[in-house]
Amino acid sequence: AQKVTQAQTEISVVEKEDVTLDCVYETRDTTYYLFWYKQPPSGELVFLIRRNSFDEQNEISGRYSWNFQKSTSSFNFTITASQVVDSAVYFCALRSHPGHNQGGKLIFGQGTELSVKP
């Protein structure tokens, strides 16, 4: 069975602190894709990043960075120098290889609500 676990339900930090959001996944597929989405208070889902299972390079995009480790089945997300505008719910998600994926189905974690206080 496929599963994504975001153990942190809520995180509260003060502006300029660094914060890491954890994501652990389970899958038997050898080829899969991992995603992070941001959901601001307005409710829409904003795509942040996609990672292929065969590419373990970490990625940095401005204040955002992602650490993908197949050995521990984790795909953690770090925000450096957090800002109030980073306050949102963040979702980690898993998608199987297209050959057997129920129309591109994403398996979502429960979400982590990040609150950044000024």
Partner 1 sequence: EAQVTQNPRYLITVTGKKLTVTCSQNMNHEYMSWYRQDPGLGLRQIYYSMNVEVTDKGDVPEGYKVSRKEKRNFPLILESPSPNQTSLYFCASTPRGDRGVYEQYFGPGTRLTVT
Based on CB atoms, which residue is closest to partner 1, 103 or 118? 103
CB 28, min distance to partner 1, A: 18
CB 14, min distance to partner 1, A: 25
Based on CB atoms, which residue is closest to partner 1, 64 or 108? 108
Q: How far apart are CA 89 and CA 43, in angstroms?
A: 9
Q: How far apart are CA 102 and CA 73, in angstroms?
A: 22
CB 44, min distance to partner 1, A: 5
Q: φ, ψ for residue 71 (rounded to 5)? A: -60, -30
Q: Distances from the Cα of 106 to the Cαs of 20, 33, 118, in angstroms?
A: 22, 9, 34
Based on CB atoms, which residue is closest to partner 1, 35 or 77? 35
Q: Where do contacts with partner 1 occur on this chain (CB under 8 A)?
A: 4, 6, 9, 33, 35, 43-45, 47, 50, 91, 93, 95, 97-98, 101-106, 108-111
108, HSE (Cβ side, Cα atoms, 13 Å): 11
